[in-house]
Amino acid sequence: MRAWMGMAPLLLAACTGSYEPTPLTDKQAIKLDKALAGKVAGEKVSCINREPQTSLTVISNNVLLYRVSRRLVYKNELIGSCSGLTYGDTMIVRSYGSQMCRGDFTTTANLQTGITTGACALGDFIPYRAPKP
Query: CA nearest 19: which of 78, 87, 95, 63?
Result: 78
Q: What are the structural domain ranges in the chain?
A: 26-129
pLDDT digits (tens, 9 = 90+) for 83-131: 888 888 999 888 888 899 999 999 999 989 989 998 999 999 999 999 8
pLDDT digits (tens, 9 = 90+) for 13-72: 454 455 677 889 999 999 999 999 999 999 999 999 887 667 899 999 999 999 999 999
From residue 35, alpha-carbon distances to 25, 96, 117 in Å are 15, 28, 26
